[in-house]
Structure 1
Amino acid sequence: MTVLHYDIVGSFLRPKVLKDARSAYENGEIDLEKLRQVEDEQIKDLVEKEIQVGLKVVSDGEFRRSYWHLDTFWGFDGVLHTIPEHGYFFHGEETRADSAQVNGKIKFTPTHPDLAAFKYLSGLVKDKPGITARQSIPAPAQFYAELVRDEENIAKLKEVYQNQTELFNDIIQAYRDLILALYQAGCRDLKLDDCTWGMLSDTELWQKIAGPDFDPESLKELYLKLNNAVLVDQPADLRLSTHVCRGNYHSTWAAQGGYAPVAKYLLAQELVDAFYLEFDDERSGDFTPLKETAPGKQVVLGLVTSKTPKLESKEVLAKRVKEASQFVPLNKLALSTQCGFASTEEGNILTEQQQWDKIKLVIKTAKEIWD
């Protein structure tokens, strides 16, 4: 497997024609088939641009999703799309109010939208040597966190599941079935997006959420156990990675704090091949926690922000990569944006051209450092 030293997290700003089509569909002006045609066309165009700019691992931009995580949850049997009283609270902004709530036993279904999405993406690159189609899905821990997000979700959960063991078994099986289906469809690069670790890095936030007597260590153990139960014994030729950030909505953020509180769980023990980590500003702390990274694992440094259009200095980026190499060998490091450009369909506050300028900066800087 070729080792790349430049990468992206995966979501792209939605083109206006795609946003218009989604709005028209929601208003009953076009049918689902027409929406899918627009999505197909825009994804095909995006993939061509990704390849032209020099990316070797491509995504579909998450163009079929409204959220980076909820659409995957809604795709499982036994999960309902609900509208809670509040959205997620970010720094100075509240998101749209959507959630995922259990209304039956959780199961994978062959009609899961992520499987169909990957099959289309894979078909676009099957005759392009050296290009890999990546599928991103939210981590199992993120799914569990959504199911216990508020009192209403917890109450519904208790109506269906009498104990946590039964719930975890169904989550694990549903995820393993989804991953197997993706693998059988040709997926060899799978990324699990996971904000749970980023939220746990913010100790002040957790004290506000759960109270001063809450023991975060038990939750870290739970998240690790749940994720690893899905990741264990996966095919050797399936590259597994996880992306961790502290929230990415309309150029805002939800949490802050370095990785020290979670490093001994996440970096030392999670069964992935690579960690995509947010490091674009002081909210993410310094590189010291990287010393906990298990030997042989790759760390993809998210040093280029996807939140603002200003381009970083290549010299500063190179300096920061060198600093990180004190804790992880240089040949095990890579460079990327800290997150996607549109974790939700709203997107961050920059233009499509500025988005591509960021990606070009990542590629050019990485080639100067590693080539």
Structure 2
Amino acid sequence: MAPPPFRAEHVGSLLRPQDLLDARNAVDGGKTPDEAGLPATEKRAVADVVALQRGLGFRAVTDGEYTRTRFWGLTWDEFEGTIRLQDADASMFRLYHPDVVSLIEKDRKVMPGDSVIAGGKLRHDPAKSVSNVHELRLVQSVTPRENWGDIKMTMITPAWFHMRYKQGRAYTPEAYANDAEYFKDVAKVYAAELDHLYKAGLRNVQFDDPGLAYFCSEKFRKGWEEDKDNIGTVDELLDAYIQLYNDCIAGCPSDMHIGVHLCRGNFIGGRHFAEGAYDIIAKKLFQNLNATTFYLEYDTERAGGFEPLSVLPRDKYVVVGIISTKLRALEDKEEMKRRVYQAADFIAQGRGESREEALKSVCVSPQCGFSTHSEGYPLSLEDEKKKLALVREIADEIWGEP
């Protein structure tokens, strides 16, 4: 099955080894990367995690997000024109945004960290946009060249920082007059970054986007409607984000696979942030967003049923995330296979085709990454291996192909 997606997938992040965490903590404590041994430790850790994935039979290998401390990485920090915020005032944020809500709860008193705004016009400088290429080179260095096209890189949604800020606060008044101007330049820098990575050999991109799933949350939608500062409706915001995606990827070559992963949060301790079925966004998501593949969280009832898959177009794929990365207990294989078939049945019903035909549009994965932040997750490395092996086994028994 080529190009991606593959029948057995995982969402990107994997549990970090302790020596890598120790080296990064030493850097945070004041040592230089070389003094802490970070470059060598990072290189060795990525080689080991690529070997783990390939040994388990996964083709769409990642670096485990080992070079990042948070799943969104440094992409935005490296764009020209951004300002990194420290101790930002709460008045800047949509306090009903699920991520933000979790950080301002009683006794936490923490505002979102690693947050940026546009302080000037956004621009892409290949000499400064280095972190993603660094990740790619690490994986390429331990992957046979004929398999470089399988390598998957996760990237943060272009709407990530816009969604958490109040109306007009994702940029300064000196930088942009309105969202339309801002989105236009966001699309330009993302398109330039994708071109930069394509020239470096990347052919498989997965955008990570909890925000799209938050449109399924009644709490978020209610908060938006009650916020008198907002311009337009919450559904018009969804339309704007879909158009932003389409503008970002419009120039991608035909052999560059683009997928989008939706989840409702995967914080330290296995916590989630939002609930709500895909029904309310499914038609716009599947039919208007020009990605090839949708990686969907489906491990618990908070994501609803498979009914929304009935509107999946014939030229799109869905990766059903039915294996939990939040709970240590290993799922029952036969029950998980039944769920895959159930998903296919809804696709078949919507298209008027057989289950066998619909299964060609389905893949399987865990519902999210195993470590979307650097540490603090409930599973052990052995648990992770068992979960990934189960994904591979399910795929083998249903499809018998990569």
The TM-score with structure 1 as length reference comes to 0.92
Contact 2:148 2:201 in 1 (8 A): no
1:170 aligns with 2:173: no
Contact 1:81 1:100 in 2 (8 A): yes
Contact 1:85 1:97 in 2 (8 A): no
3-state SS, counterpart of residue 319 of structure 2: strand
For residue 192 of structure 1, what is the amino acid of its counterpart?
Answer: F
1:249 aligns with 2:267: yes
Measure how far apart 1:103 and its partner are. 2.4
**Separation (CA, whole Å) in 1 of partners of 2:60 and 2:191:** 23
Measure how far apart 1:124 and its partner are. 2.0
Measure how far apart 1:322 and its partner are. 1.1
Please point out which of 322, 337, 344 is paired with 1:318. Answer: 337
For residue 138 of structure 2, what is the amino acid of its counterpart?
Answer: Y
Segment of structure 1 superposing worse, 279-288 or 42-51: 42-51
In the alignment, what sits opposite 1:357? 386
Q: Structure 1: which 5+ runs fail to align?
A: none
* 1:256-271 → structure 2 map (5 Å cutoff): 256-271=275-290
1:72 aligns with 2:63: no
Does the C-alpha gap of structure 1 residues 157 and 126 become closer, same or farther in structure 2, counting only changes over 3 Å? farther
Measure how far apart 1:78 and its partner are. 1.6
Segment of structure 1 superposing worse, 81-90 or 8-17: 81-90
Measure how far apart 1:115 and its partner are. 2.0
Measure how far apart 1:40 and its partner are. 1.3
Contact 1:90 1:247 in 2 (8 A): no
**Separation (CA, whole Å) in 1 of partners of 2:100 and 2:329:** 27
Measure how far apart 1:301 and its partner are. 0.2
Does the C-alpha gap of structure 1 residues 346 and 192 become closer, same or farther in structure 2, counting only changes over 3 Å? same
Does the C-alpha gap of structure 1 residues 365 and 105 become closer, same or farther in structure 2, counting only changes over 3 Å? same
In the alignment, what sits opposite 1:134? 152
In the alignment, what sits opposite 1:308? 327
In the alignment, what sits opposite 2:297? 278
Contact 2:265 2:274 in 1 (8 A): yes
Segment of structure 1 superposing worse, 18-27 or 225-234: 225-234
Contact 2:149 2:203 in 1 (8 A): no
Measure how far apart 1:75 and its partner are. 2.1
Please point out which of 230, 238, 244 is paired with 1:226. Answer: 244
In the alignment, what sits opposite 1:348? 377
Measure how far apart 1:88 and its partner are. 3.3
| Cα deviation digits, residues 247-296 of structure 1 (max 9, x gap) | 11110011100001111211111111111000000000001111121222
* 1:79-228 → structure 2 map (5 Å cutoff): 79-83=82-86, 84=88, 88-90=100-102, 97-98=112-113, 99-110=115-126, 111-112=128-129, 113-127=131-145, 129=147, 132-146=150-164, 149-150=165-166, 154=169, 156-211=171-226, 215-228=233-246
**Separation (CA, whole Å) in 2 of partners of 1:315 and 1:47:** 28
1:288 aligns with 2:307: yes
**Separation (CA, whole Å) in 1 of partners of 2:161 and 2:219:** 23
Measure how far apart 1:209 and its partner are. 4.8
Contact 2:3 2:257 in 1 (8 A): no
3-state SS, counterpart of residue 296 of structure 1: coil
For residue 88 of structure 1, what is the amino acid of its counterpart?
Answer: V
Measure how far apart 1:229 and its partner are. 0.7
In the alignment, what sits opposite 2:350? none
1:29 aligns with 2:41: no
Measure how far apart 1:85 and its partner are. 5.5
State the number of aligned residues. Answer: 368
Measure how far apart 1:150 and its partner are. 4.3
Does the C-alpha gap of structure 1 residues 172 and 129 become closer, same or farther in structure 2, counting only changes over 3 Å? closer
Contact 2:260 2:294 in 1 (8 A): yes
For residue 285 of structure 2, what is the amino acid of its counterpart?
Answer: L
3-state SS, counterpart of residue 318 of structure 2: strand
3-state SS, counterpart of residue 349 of structure 1: coil
In the alignment, what sits opposite 2:351? none
Contact 2:161 2:170 in 1 (8 A): no
In the alignment, what sits opposite 1:367? 396
* 1:55-70 → structure 2 map (5 Å cutoff): 55-69=58-72
The TM-score with structure 2 as length reference comes to 0.85
Contact 2:297 2:367 in 1 (8 A): yes
Does the C-alpha gap of structure 1 residues 332 and 155 become closer, same or farther in structure 2, counting only changes over 3 Å? closer
Segment of structure 1 superposing worse, 96-105 or 288-297: 96-105
Contact 1:56 1:131 in 2 (8 A): no
Does the C-alpha gap of structure 1 residues 85 and 37 become closer, same or farther in structure 2, counting only changes over 3 Å? farther
Contact 1:137 1:193 in 2 (8 A): yes
In the alignment, what sits opposite 2:15? 13
For residue 100 of structure 1, what is the amino acid of its counterpart?
Answer: V
Contact 2:162 2:170 in 1 (8 A): no
Measure how far apart 1:348 and its partner are. 2.2
* Seq. identity, %: 29
Q: Structure 2: which 5+ runs fail to align?
A: 91-98, 348-357
Moved over 6 A (4+): 91-96
Contact 1:13 1:347 in 2 (8 A): no
Measure how far apart 1:129 and its partner are. 4.5
